[in-house]
Chains A and B, each alone.
Chain A
Amino acid sequence: MSVVDERLNALRGAAPRKPHNARTLAALAANPGCRRRTLLDAAGIDKGQIAEGLGVRISIGQMSSIAIARGKGFEAKVKADGCAELLRLLREHIGLPVPEVHYHDLNPADADDRITSRLRRSQRALQASAESNEPTGTLFDHPILQLTVNGVQVRIEPDLIAFKLGNQFFIVEIKSFAILDGTADSGKVAAAAQQSAVYVLAMREMLQTAGLDPAMVSDQVVLVCPKDFSNHPVAELLDVRKQLATLKRQLDRMESVESLLRLLPPDLSFDPRLDAAGRPTRDPQELAAAIFQVTARYSPECLGACELGGVCRAEVSGMVPVLGRVVREDLGGIDSIKEAVELATGLREPDAGQQQAADLLRRAYGMREAALGAVR
């Protein structure tokens, strides 16, 4: 075990490890400057437990049990009989000339099937397939992938199918939101594209490490969704080139976990000290003091993407970022809301870097008072 891994395990303490998934990676890439999230995710720390330990629990990505049941039913329908329905979609909707296919099940064999052995199995299967020139297609159900994030190997267990035809791999994502009259909710499609980009990148990294051509993995992802108001599947190709470029750029820009660890005291621990029932018992103030040693980068979007969103919002209460990115840009160079108000009302003289923003605020405040005063 490397020194970095040891330090990360020490940070997590006795709490169980929570692995990255495509959603957390996409969220991390959306806010790459957040050191707090970077470090906690790298250490596999359950941020929800930390938030609960601090008494500011918010629910993130919590899905309705009813929606989950329906989603599972839909996925089962698409995958039934060795993915017979999926094949029909690939032929008829995507127009792929699929003659016949092998179905390679990479799901866990039993409850004891360890993720490391599954990863090795997935790698062997995918690499062997990449090297062969077989004309038949192959479907890989539920492979395990891994990706280097902040200099650390992160394993991801995507709920997907990798499909190989000729010398091309396609990622197939099954989602339960509907495509209605050929269009779907743009937010959901964007999220699906983001996640798929993570998988494409992970598969490419795997091929490259094995000395194979990473371009074999297509940047066109097959999205399978229910059609209109029904439960019948429909498949569309989704171009994820843009998401791939963004993701790569952001992964490159991220600070390495190693350099982040160097800034922290060696005995630091984020262990919430769970009791037998899984409830955190550590003193909230002590836990908060530990967490706040790593800086966060809060924006309101965090509330929908990070379990610590509520914690970080409370931490920067009274500061400009809580009002959103646009306000932060408009009030460039001003950190606190009080300061912005005092600059606007003339109670405070601007610093060197604030002159321009302060002038604008002064004028805006004057106009605002005049306009409201005239009708008061």
Chain B
Amino acid sequence: MTVLTSLAKALAAYSMTPQQLTVYRHLHISSKPIVIVPLTLAGETNAPLAAMVGPDRARPTLIVTRQPRDRAERIEFAGRLASELLFPIETAAQQTQATGAGPNARVRVVDAPQLWVPNPAGIEFVRTLGRMTRLRFIEGPWAVPKKVRDLGIWLTWFAEQAEFADTGALIAATQAIAAVWATGQSDLEDGNLAAQMAWLAPPEGMDVAAAVSRAENPQLCPPAGPSTDPTFDRLFLEPALRDLATARTPAAHNAVHRRLTAMVEEQMRPTWELVWTAIDLLRDVPEAPRVPKRWEQQRDRFTSFHRYVADGGRPQAKRDSAGRSAHRLAELEQRMAAFEAQRAYDDPLVIADHRLTGEAFAGHVVDVDAARRVPGLRRNVLRPMVTVATGDQIHLDVGQHMYDPARNGQQAVIESVIETEDGWRIELELQNQMGSGLTAKPGSVPALGEDVTYTSVTETFVRRRPWPTRDETPWTHGGPPPDSTPVVEDAAEDWS
């Protein structure tokens, strides 16, 4: 968190209205998001109890286990969830387009699925359910339906994607909201979707303070799951489960199950509505310019993983090999750095954060030598000099590389930094993106008096040496890893 965020929180608390943290939304919002609101049985590891799921706010699919303590019923639950999720995944995968015209053009899906859960614990539910189901066998004595295993493979993929800073595959509503708005409460309280949404969309005719205090009462606003409210467990769920276990006839069982269905629906419905309201609110925030490009990359990832699964790819191993871990870590870091830079380039409030910490400055051009040339290796090269006056506090040194977000990250080198009465004068030598001639392309050099911003944050990715192949895994990383072959123990794994 930064001073700007802290200030926004203070402003929100003072005015009792949420405050924008970014000017733009840096997250792609699908035209057809799929929402999952899961509930689990307390005290067990991811024992699914119920889920509300689907792409249609008005008509959610309600899945309630017929007996949450029974293994076969849990597999059945996974199967029903698979029917809901695998269909949109397949539909999306069938509609593709070429990435370009040339011979190197690949195929990319027109749109990729986007899953929403209420909170980070919902992402954890997706991950654990994926782990629970992907290693099962689809033939032999412990066989489960293929769709259950496929669901496991896909849920694992979505949960892995959610670890990336720039993800658009699986989103926790509380985090997506917190990325755009500050409320006048702490992050801890913002973790409760109902309390967070009380700031952004209080119920009709209710002020924020009243809405927040209502949201903190689990009897009025059930928790967003997957854990249920202990009071609900004691008063309603436990008796229903007891009745379910003792029901002698199918008719009696059905009657209890109808009661159970009604009560869990009542627990999930408010959260379901809140997630959709959150999506609507976010959709109204203008999208940042670099979002479509990132979503294109996400569609590429979906396309290639779908091909992997369609070609009979193996389920992900329980643990990553050393090589895959190193690969993933590098990708996490690289995508986070790129995302941070892209947000800064797109959003004046994000770049303001960097200005406050001295990693960027904004000012106006007080002197330009657009035609300046310096001797190069073989001939003179164009190196315009721009002098900027700024009132920002800077922590920058001569020789440091800076980038101009307004000119697609044009690179400049600091030639001198001089303190003046009201700030700093910084001389910058422009390095690139001015065309190949000896005079600069129009607009590629800032004009006298122009307002400019420079930052040391760069979006350009430094290409590293290529990764060794699997067979070339060095001894430092344990040598080539053994193949992860599916084992019967995993297929037969207890789920009690």
Tell me if A229 and B45 are in contact (CB < 8 A): yes
**Chain B interface bracket (under 10, 10 to 19, 20 to 34, 35 or more):** 35 or more
Pick the contact of A364 from B4, B23, B185, B347 — CB < 8 Å?
A: B4
Tell me if A323 and B23 are in contact (CB < 8 A): no
Tell me if A375 and B23 are in contact (CB < 8 A): yes
In the complex, what residues of A have CB within 8 A of residue B334's CB? none
Instruction: Find the residue from B8, B13, B184, B237 having the highest chain A CB count within 10 A.
Output: B13
Question: Whole-angstrom distance between the alpha carbons of A323 and B190 in the complex?
Answer: 10
Pick the contact of B14 from A232, A341, A371 — CB < 8 Å?
A: A341
Pick the contact of A344 from B7, B43, B227, B348 — CB < 8 Å?
A: B7
Question: Whole-angstrom distance between the alpha carbons of A180 and B216 in the complex?
Answer: 31
In the complex, what residues of A have CB within 8 A of residue B6's CB? 323, 326-327, 330-331
Closest to A68 in B: B43
Question: Whole-angstrom distance between the alpha carbons of A340 and B132 in the complex?
Answer: 49
Tell me if A181 and B4 are in contact (CB < 8 A): no
Question: Whole-angstrom distance between the alpha carbons of A367 and B4 in the complex?
Answer: 9
Min CB distance A341 to B, Å, is: 4
In the complex, what residues of A have CB within 8 A of residue B3's CB? 330, 360-361, 364
Tell me if B186 and A300 are in contact (CB < 8 A): yes
Annotate B189-203 by CB proximity to A: 1 below 8 A, 0 otherwise. Answer: 100000000000000
Tell me if A304 and B10 are in contact (CB < 8 A): no
Annotate A230-246 by CB proximity to B: 1 below 8 A, 0 otherwise. Answer: 11100000000000000
Q: Is A67 positioned at the interface, with any CB of B under 8 Å from its CB?
A: yes
In the complex, what residues of A have CB within 8 A of residue B331's CB? none
Q: Is B277 positioned at the interface, with any CB of A under 8 Å from its CB?
A: no
Stretch from A57-65, A164-172, A197-205 that touches the partner? A57-65
Q: Is B128 positioned at the interface, with any CB of A under 8 Å from its CB?
A: yes
* Leading 10 A-B pairs by shortest Cβ distance: A67-B43, A64-B42, A371-B348, A230-B494, A70-B43, A300-B186, A324-B186, A330-B6, A178-B45, A367-B352
Tell me if B230 and A231 are in contact (CB < 8 A): no
Pick the contact of B348 from A231, A320, A374 — CB < 8 Å?
A: A374
Q: Is A115 positioned at the interface, with any CB of B under 8 Å from its CB?
A: no
Pairs A–B under 8 Å by Cβ, sample size 30: A59-B231, A64-B227, A64-B230, A64-B233, A65-B234, A66-B41, A66-B42, A66-B241, A68-B43, A70-B43, A180-B45, A180-B128, A180-B131, A322-B185, A322-B186, A323-B186, A327-B1, A330-B6, A344-B7, A361-B7, A363-B356, A363-B392, A364-B4, A364-B7, A368-B7, A368-B349, A368-B352, A371-B23, A371-B352, A375-B348
Q: Is A69 positioned at the interface, with any CB of B under 8 Å from its CB?
A: yes
Question: Whole-angstrom distance between the alpha carbons of A226 and B238 in the complex?
Answer: 22
In the complex, what residues of B have CB within 8 A of residue A62's CB? 230-231
Min CB distance A261 to B, Å, is: 32
Question: Whole-angstrom distance between the alpha carbons of A231 and B128 in the complex?
Answer: 16
Question: Whole-angstrom distance between the alpha carbons of A71 and B228 in the complex?
Answer: 17
Question: Whole-angstrom distance between the alpha carbons of A63 and B10 in the complex?
Answer: 34
Question: Whole-angstrom distance between the alpha carbons of A143 and B416 in the complex?
Answer: 72
Q: Is B493 positioned at the interface, with any CB of A under 8 Å from its CB?
A: yes
Q: Is A286 positioned at the interface, with any CB of B under 8 Å from its CB?
A: no
Q: Is A370 positioned at the interface, with any CB of B under 8 Å from its CB?
A: yes
In the complex, what residues of B have CB within 8 A of residue A180's CB? 45, 128, 131
Question: Whole-angstrom distance between the alpha carbons of A367 and B390 in the complex?
Answer: 13
**Chain A interface bracket (under 10, 10 to 19, 20 to 34, 35 or more):** 35 or more
Chain B residues 347 to 375 lying within 8 A of chain A, measured CB to CB, are: 347-349, 352, 355-356
Tell me if A229 and B42 are in contact (CB < 8 A): no
Annotate A338-372 by CB proximity to B: 1 below 8 A, 0 otherwise. Answer: 10110010000000000000001101110110111
Q: Is A195 positioned at the interface, with any CB of B under 8 Å from its CB?
A: no
Question: Whole-angstrom distance between the alpha carbons of A338 and B185 in the complex?
Answer: 14
Q: Is A301 positioned at the interface, with any CB of B under 8 Å from its CB?
A: yes
Tell me if A323 and B228 are in contact (CB < 8 A): no
In the complex, what residues of B have CB within 8 A of residue A370's CB? 348
Question: Whole-angstrom distance between the alpha carbons of A58 and B4 in the complex?
Answer: 32
Question: Whole-angstrom distance between the alpha carbons of A69 and B1 in the complex?
Answer: 41
In the complex, what residues of A have CB within 8 A of residue B11's CB? 341, 344
Question: Whole-angstrom distance between the alpha carbons of A232 and B46 in the complex?
Answer: 15
Annotate A198-239 by CB proximity to B: 1 below 8 A, 0 otherwise. Answer: 000000000000000000000000000010111110000000
Tell me if B188 and A324 are in contact (CB < 8 A): yes
Q: Is B30 positioned at the interface, with any CB of A under 8 Å from its CB?
A: no
Interface residues of A (CB under 8 A from B): 58-59, 62-71, 176-178, 180-182, 226, 228-232, 300-301, 303-304, 318, 320, 322-324, 326-327, 330-331, 337-338, 340-341, 344, 360-361, 363-365, 367-368, 370-372, 374-375
Min CB distance B79 to A, Å, is: 17
Min CB distance B235 to A, Å, is: 9
Question: Whole-angstrom distance between the alpha carbons of A245 and B126 in the complex?
Answer: 37
Annotate B34-47 by CB proximity to A: 1 below 8 A, 0 otherwise. Answer: 00000001111110
Question: Whole-angstrom distance between the alpha carbons of A59 and B493 in the complex?
Answer: 36
Pick the contact of A229 from B13, B132, B188 — CB < 8 Å?
A: B132
Question: Whole-angstrom distance between the alpha carbons of A26 and B3 in the complex?
Answer: 31
Min CB distance B284 to A, Å, is: 14
Min CB distance B285 to A, Å, is: 11
In the complex, what residues of B have CB within 8 A of residue A70's CB? 42-44
Question: Whole-angstrom distance between the alpha carbons of A228 and B133 in the complex?
Answer: 13
Question: Whole-angstrom distance between the alpha carbons of A150 and B448 in the complex?
Answer: 69
Annotate B201-232 by CB proximity to A: 1 below 8 A, 0 otherwise. Answer: 00000000000000010000000000110110
In the complex, what residues of A have CB within 8 A of residue B46's CB? 229
Q: Is B187 positioned at the interface, with any CB of A under 8 Å from its CB?
A: yes
Q: Is B318 positioned at the interface, with any CB of A under 8 Å from its CB?
A: yes
A59 with B230, Cβ < 8 A, contacts A323-B9, A368-B8 known: yes
Q: Is B20 positioned at the interface, with any CB of A under 8 Å from its CB?
A: yes
Instruction: Find the residue from B4, B43, B237 having the highest chain A CB count within 10 A.
Output: B43
Min CB distance B155 to A, Å, is: 15
Tell me if B493 and A229 are in contact (CB < 8 A): yes
